[in-house]
Structure 1
Amino acid sequence: MTIYLPIAELPVAIFTIFAMGLAVGFISGMFGVGGGFLLTPLLIFTGIPSTVAVASVSPYMAASSFSGALAYLRKGLVDLPLAGVLLAGGVIGTGCGVALFTWLSSVGQVDLIIRISYTLLLGGIGLMMLTESVRAIVRTRKGNKPIVRRPGTHSWIMRLPLKMRFRRSRIYVSAIPVAGLGFMIGVLGAVLGVGGGFILVPALIYLLRVPTTTSVGTSMVLTVATMASATILHAASNGSVDAMLAFVLMIGGTMGAQFGARTGQTMRPENLRFLLALLVLSVGVRVAVDLVRVPHDLYVVTETELAP
């Protein structure tokens, strides 16, 4: 069954898009990540323009993170003051990211920048995750206990001004790096269509020493806010949000996340991180191959409006 995407301006097989959302939702539920960093490249691989792929993944990310954020809020595992500071930087970063995205689109370089960014981002993060997971697996097989870092212990962050006490996270740190993290996540979300949880959660845990469960819950709240803002700004500035595409992805993602969460609960954490690292690296390599491969059509003719 084929449907026509009005914003992307091309017909697609609805079951292919549904299966894509289902698979990414399964991965998201299994590994506890947003999945936007996988879904955007997959949409681009199927021929959907980069501008539409990035913008249409934003509402998918907002919707998929909403239920998780509510669950963490009910359990009291969200540091609301910390989320507020992150959100202050995230909203500004989202606005800057959409402005950058619009400018790159106007000069015709958005597709190149997105592919290069995904290659560097996924390659770097995948290698770090793979190294950490292999060390954890080796440590577990040797019977050594994992290294535990106490919350509230910091290095150079303690010397920065504008300190705030976040009681839920049991930390006393400057608001500057917290807002800076939010700003970076907002820019990445607007330009690349990623929720940023796979960057923010490790940063909160290893950089700010926030407890893991609190990091995940707080990250989800930020993802909902930044992705909702990105959706509105992309729709208003670029008109590149394809509602039909986003809706089909949401249905598949919601169903897949339920099965993925059940599967992930049966596996060891270090094995999960190892599999996720391989997955991230494989997508990064695929994007890199497409970046350097000679296209089938070297020249494309498009209609443009002539200036009067």
Structure 2
Amino acid sequence: MDIFLPIARMPISIFAILGMGGLVGLLSGLFGVGGGFLLTPLLMWMGIPPAVAVASDTNQIVAASVSGTIAHSRNKNVDFKLGFIILVGSLVGGSFGTSLVKVLQSLGNFDFVLKSTYVVMLLAVGTFMLIESINSLRKKSKKDTGTPKDSAAMRFMNKLPIKMHFEVSGIDCSVISLFILGLLIGVLAALMGVGGGFIMLPVMIYLLGMPTIKAVGTSVFVIIFTAINVTMAQSSLNHTVDVVLAIVLLIGSSIGAQVGAKIGKKLPAEQLRVLFSVIVLAVMAKMLVSLVVAPTSLISLGGGH
């Protein structure tokens, strides 16, 4: 059964969209990510224009994140105090990122910049998490707290000024570092159509020292408002939000997020991080192939329309 997408101007299978929404919702509840890092490439592979894919899937991210936050808050795994500080930075970054998208579209190189950024970010995050998680599994520690060993980067973050104590996460952290993290997440949300969880989650775990399950719950909370901010900005400034596509994705993701949160409670922290890193690297590999195989379709030398 096909439906017509008015902004994308193409027919598409409603079951395929529901399935993608459900899959990404599952990832949201399981890993504390919005799922846009996976959904945006999937939508583009199905022929949906990149600008429409980026803008429309942020609606789905809202639904998946709300559903995931409710599930995680029931288990007291959401640090609202820490999340709010990151949120302030993400709102500022999201507004800047949306304006950047408009500039790139006018230059005609948005597709190339989007896919190149995806490859670099996914490669860096996926490789780091996979190596660290495998090393942790090899050590076979008697007790898995879900918190990686203290690192030089973590010690540096702890030295930054304006520190606060966060009871839920059990850490002391600089407000400045949280705000900067939020700025980065906001820009990525606007530029790449993601909630920023695939960056936020490893930063929370490896640089802030948060327990994995607390990082997952707090991440989905922040993503709610980051995605709402970007969706509103994309709709008013760039007019690329396809409401029909967004609604179908939203239905599937709401269901998937609840299932993911339940599964996530039962998996050990290291196994959760290994699984997440493998998925990230798989998406990166597919994006890299698309860049190498058909580069001529990605760069426009003339102005955009």
What TM-score bracket applies, with the shorter chain setting the length? 0.7 to 0.9
1:10 aligns with 2:37: no
The alpha-carbon deviation at position 156 of structure 1 amounts to: 2.4
* C-alpha separation in 2, matches of 1:231 and 1:15: 24
Show the counterpart of 1:174.
Answer: 174
Q: Which has the larger radius of gyration?
A: 1
Given the superposition, is the C-alpha separation of residues 24 and 171 from structure 1 closer, same or farther in structure 2, using an over 3 Å criterion? closer
Unaligned runs of 5+ in 2: none
* C-alpha separation in 1, matches of 2:71 and 2:31: 17
Show the counterpart of 1:79.
Answer: 79
* C-alpha separation in 1, matches of 2:31 and 2:281: 15
Q: What one-letter code is carried by the residue in structure 2 that aligns with 1:294?
A: A
Given the superposition, is the C-alpha separation of residues 107 and 169 from structure 1 closer, same or farther in structure 2, using an over 3 Å criterion? same
1:194 aligns with 2:186: no
The alpha-carbon deviation at position 90 of structure 1 amounts to: 0.8
Given the superposition, is the C-alpha separation of residues 213 and 298 from structure 1 closer, same or farther in structure 2, using an over 3 Å criterion? closer
The alpha-carbon deviation at position 72 of structure 1 amounts to: 4.0
* C-alpha separation in 1, matches of 2:303 and 2:271: 51
Unaligned runs of 5+ in 1: none
Superposed CA offset, 1:158-214 (max 9, x none): 443333343443434332111000100111111111112222122123212234443
SS in 1 for 2:161: coil
The alpha-carbon deviation at position 262 of structure 1 amounts to: 4.9
Contact 1:5 1:12 in 2 (8 A): yes
* C-alpha separation in 2, matches of 1:64 and 1:39: 12
Deviates more, 1:75-84 or 1:113-122: 75-84
The alpha-carbon deviation at position 284 of structure 1 amounts to: 0.6
Show the counterpart of 1:28.
Answer: 28
The alpha-carbon deviation at position 240 of structure 1 amounts to: 0.5
* C-alpha separation in 2, matches of 1:171 and 1:298: 44
Q: What one-letter code is carried by the residue in structure 1 that aligns with 2:156?
A: W
Show the counterpart of 2:290.
Answer: 290
* C-alpha separation in 2, matches of 1:86 and 1:225: 11
Show the counterpart of 1:118.
Answer: 118
* C-alpha separation in 2, matches of 1:174 and 1:303: 43
Show the counterpart of 2:205.
Answer: 205
Question: Once the two structures are aligned, what percentage of the paired residues are identical?
Answer: 42
Given the superposition, is the C-alpha separation of residues 209 and 42 from structure 1 closer, same or farther in structure 2, using an over 3 Å criterion? same
SS in 1 for 2:241: coil
* C-alpha separation in 1, matches of 2:173 and 2:298: 53
* C-alpha separation in 1, matches of 2:165 and 2:218: 16
The alpha-carbon deviation at position 18 of structure 1 amounts to: 1.6
Contact 2:31 2:216 in 1 (8 A): no
Deviates more, 1:232-241 or 1:122-131: 122-131
* C-alpha separation in 2, matches of 1:77 and 1:265: 10
* C-alpha separation in 1, matches of 2:221 and 2:304: 41
How many residues matched? 301
* C-alpha separation in 1, matches of 2:264 and 2:113: 33
Show the counterpart of 1:218.
Answer: 218
* C-alpha separation in 1, matches of 2:261 and 2:77: 19
Superposed CA offset, 1:63-98 (max 9, x none): 111122234445554333322221211110000110
Given the superposition, is the C-alpha separation of residues 48 and 138 from structure 1 closer, same or farther in structure 2, using an over 3 Å criterion? same
Deviates more, 1:103-112 or 1:123-132: 123-132
